[in-house]
Structure 1
């Protein structure tokens, strides 16, 4: 499907036509039901296989881990009583576990469940998509039912940040009992989180119920959580306005501006330090096998204009994989590949594709984190001004991700929402044997060394220069075209209390109150 500006805009305007917003299957009496609306359907509910950011709003209500990321981006204890004891060489981590936690099936949580969960995920035969993120774990030792030790092959700072998003604790023996397909489609009884799985109606909704023996007292305040799958922007907004959803994810930017002034509706946004938006270009395929062509594309894009006129400020424009607001942002590297039409034309003239400068860009046909359709049209226009023709092809997000992971795409407009540690996206895209390694087809020994060196440190004095060095290495070869960092936006009914946008998840429901 090849799209023009008119068809993109018309599609959004017509999205609500003919859609019934009422589902009798979910109409209940006066119970405390919290309904959220997400743009994308989960492909799995298995925490060790999860790749869709929207689905994490569901799985992180079901599964928990030793540590989690709070709403301010800090690593804090969860199933662990406190932050771990760490050896001087940063390779041994000792966790004291809570003794008041039970799974949804009523069985008690202990160190055996932690060891079982991690070892199952780390076993290559189980093909966890996130296994590589935890590969530095060498050994897991149980010292008592409430004390467990992780021994690392080498220092590995970021793994705390990966726990909540990419891993969950499940009961010992549950994989053999429930099976991988059970974890994928109906994870009944196997989590410790505030929501216990009830039902999943494909392409429609996922339903959870309150975990009555949840270890955090007084939460959740809801009896039932329903995550409705609503791909159309206009329909999600309609759900909110008619109170058939109390919280919605990814309102379109122009609607977000309008909703700020609507009585009874609250809005909020945060720039996600780990939410990078970029053109994921494949350096193994023409025309992006030419560094001059890659730099021509990068220098042709006016990111600030897109942030201002398309996203209404819901994006921090950056030509390097770092937000402009952080201490380690490398302004010099940004300038090297940032907007400069004269440089873009010069790079293009030096590329081997100067006479036939064109490529296809895959763009999600339904919003993933935010709607990229309007921005794609603007990028298409900006590239045309320097002599580059870009064809836009709309495709479902799972298909785009599959092609990217297989390395079969030429270029795709891809937002990735990871933890706030800046090495995460660099690691998964530009180091060998990671989930997105084939998407760029590019590696660098110098980048690998800098990433590995950063794992030894926790303090900005050591880390900031290393992060800046990584940006300089990437800007020099420009394996991808970085556009900026996503502004996570939500809108919710005024009767919803204690809800704030979360830079780590689309929607965090655990602490929400309903008046």
Structure 2
């Protein structure tokens, strides 16, 4: 039995309700594609803006075995689900570390290592999760409720955990028996199931944790179709088929190698040559050509995430620490940040830089989300003259100079240069500092920046896009932002049962965030994944993750 510092006893006989309808209290599944009322297509010749999320095997003849190579546009960080913060780590972990829940092409939450949706007591404080009895970790350790409880507890207690804020105010975690985990809360927490459909729900081998501790990410061991084989830093990560996997008969590849290729032109060239079979984050400059190329298809899905300009307003001692004081007008004066937000012509930028493939974003909540409201879709007016007037009122010297650090890939640099020109009209002078992606993540953590341009791949529940990033001293609050009104609104939204009530609270939070502008939201990309047509069974959904677990080589038609 595993407990996390219980301060009260769980109810002895709570009345439990299984949430089959994926909307009340904890079991929340959403239809989140850009075309939310239309079933996702499964052909790769759809026009720009229409979701094509799967390349089905269908009646094609599978060629068993083989070594698939996927080109990744950036190197993953540590392969530890408890501490990682990179989208690219999620790509790799998806094949090795299954979760209690997953999302499907419709954005609905479905069981994976759990066998059903959680049961929740009437007061919302006790959650019971049924788990599989037929799974084994890649090292032979049995998968059971005790392992689940240990992983969730690690997410709450490990120093440097990025998962704590995702799991809510947990009072205790108990393995009731080998197939049942009971989680007790001090307050109801609506986003739990959605959190367990991401890294917080990736269950780790207790034996590997005992042997490796904080070094778990050097050689991760989980339940999955594949298991870790090798990592060559800055070059590649390889996983191999796990014969112990409970559904091994539906795994077709021998290995998957994730090759780090940061240049989008080189990724496209490797697809054309057949040296790689799958490539993520296809450049909008390459996508039209690839869609018309024989032997190559392109999947596309709308995004739950966003790209934004993160402003350091108080991250002086590292992410998660108490906010400090940064004595610059940009960090201390909301009117200067408001002027910056008003200097950005989002619509013109996405049209000129990305050819209309991407969409302007002004909020952490996608307009396609059921939680979207007029408040969350409101956008700061583009008004460079008013921006200059604000700077004059603030008494700052114009042009106001600041530095933006960005990932050093061509598409990001192109956007940064266009943004640089845009903010000039509003009285700003922006210096661009390109940085290697993994280094940029470290820079963000340390608070060693004035501004950075980075994104977030998005989650099905707005809590996953907001609370950990915008609540005071949370693990992804890279800005060092603190506003007690926002903190309270996000807590209230997580405790509410009703989507309309939660939506209203999130909208109020967005209104305040747009007044403070610790993040200036810029655009929402489309997840563009290209693959050669001798591969099928690939999926890419609105959370940005490319799924290869059931991919296979197929015979030419």
TM-score, normalised to structure 2's length?
0.81
Distance 1:116 1:319, change over 3 A: closer
**Partners in 2 of 1:464 and 1:185 — Cα distance?**
40
What is the Cα deviation at residue 341 of structure 1? 2.5
Match of 1:320 among 340, 360, 363: 363
Report the equivalent of 2:386.
343
What is the Cα deviation at residue 256 of structure 1? 1.2
Q: Return 399-408 or 41-50, whichever deviates more.
A: 399-408
Match of 2:329 among 255, 280, 287: 287
Report if the CA contact (8 A) 2:149-2:175 is conserved.
Answer: yes
Report the equivalent of 1:3.
none
2:542 is equivalent to residue 503 of structure 1: yes
What is the Cα deviation at residue 306 of structure 1? 1.7
Report the equivalent of 2:471.
431
Query: Unmatched 5+ residue regions in structure 2?
Result: 1-62, 315-325
Which structure 2 residues correspond to residues 304-453 of structure 1 after superposition, within 5 A?
304-331=347-374, 337-366=380-409, 371-437=411-477, 439-453=478-492
Report the equivalent of 1:22.
none
Report the equivalent of 2:80.
46
**Partners in 1 of 2:233 and 2:398 — Cα distance?**
47
What is the Cα deviation at residue 91 of structure 1? 1.8
Report if the CA contact (8 A) 2:75-2:438 is conserved.
Answer: no
**Partners in 1 of 2:98 and 2:376 — Cα distance?**
38
Report if the CA contact (8 A) 1:323-1:484 is conserved.
Answer: no
Report the equivalent of 2:256.
225
Which has the larger share of helix? 1
SS of aligned partner of 1:199: strand
Report if the CA contact (8 A) 1:287-1:359 is conserved.
Answer: no
SS of aligned partner of 2:271: helix
Can you list the C-alpha shifts for 1:479-512, whole angstroms capped at 9, x where unaligned?
Answer: 2211122221111111222323222243211132
**Partners in 1 of 2:379 and 2:549 — Cα distance?**
43
**Partners in 1 of 2:154 and 2:172 — Cα distance?**
13
Report the equivalent of 2:137.
103
Match of 2:210 among 156, 159, 176: 176
**Partners in 2 of 1:495 and 1:450 — Cα distance?**
49
SS of aligned partner of 2:366: coil
What is the Cα deviation at residue 152 of structure 1? 1.6
**Partners in 2 of 1:282 and 1:400 — Cα distance?**
14
Report if the CA contact (8 A) 1:132-1:433 is conserved.
Answer: no
Query: Unmatched 5+ residue regions in structure 1?
Result: 1-28
2:99 is equivalent to residue 57 of structure 1: no
Match of 1:245 among 276, 290, 295: 276
Report the equivalent of 2:222.
191
**Partners in 2 of 1:441 and 1:509 — Cα distance?**
36
**Partners in 2 of 1:159 and 1:408 — Cα distance?**
32
Report if the CA contact (8 A) 2:126-2:183 is conserved.
Answer: yes
Report the equivalent of 1:36.
70
What is the Cα deviation at residue 379 of structure 1? 0.8
Report if the CA contact (8 A) 2:242-2:248 is conserved.
Answer: no
**Partners in 1 of 2:496 and 2:242 — Cα distance?**
38
Distance 1:505 1:460, change over 3 A: same
Report if the CA contact (8 A) 1:269-1:314 is conserved.
Answer: no
**Partners in 1 of 2:371 and 2:154 — Cα distance?**
36
Distance 1:148 1:88, change over 3 A: same
Report the equivalent of 1:276.
306
Q: Return 251-260 or 68-77, whichever deviates more.
A: 68-77
What is the Cα deviation at residue 386 of structure 1? 2.4
Report if the CA contact (8 A) 1:270-1:502 is conserved.
Answer: yes
What is the Cα deviation at residue 334 of structure 1? 5.5
SS of aligned partner of 1:270: strand
CA RMSD of aligned residues (A): 2.2
Which structure 2 residues correspond to residues 16-35 of structure 1 after superposition, within 5 A?
31-35=65-69
Report if the CA contact (8 A) 1:283-1:290 is conserved.
Answer: no
Can you list the C-alpha shifts for 1:387-414, whole angstroms capped at 9, x where unaligned?
Answer: 2111101012233222322333111111
Report the equivalent of 2:50.
none
Can you list the C-alpha shifts for 1:265-310, whole angstroms capped at 9, x where unaligned?
Answer: 111222211x111100122442312211111111111111122221
Report the equivalent of 2:49.
none
**Partners in 2 of 1:301 and 1:342 — Cα distance?**
12
**Partners in 1 of 2:265 and 2:253 — Cα distance?**
26
Report if the CA contact (8 A) 1:250-1:490 is conserved.
Answer: yes
**Partners in 1 of 2:146 and 2:472 — Cα distance?**
32
Q: How many residues align?
A: 478
What is the Cα deviation at residue 357 of structure 1? 0.9
2:260 is equivalent to residue 260 of structure 1: no
Report if the CA contact (8 A) 2:384-2:427 is conserved.
Answer: no
Report the equivalent of 1:470.
509
Report if the CA contact (8 A) 1:251-1:491 is conserved.
Answer: yes
2:491 is equivalent to residue 491 of structure 1: no
Distance 1:328 1:99, change over 3 A: closer
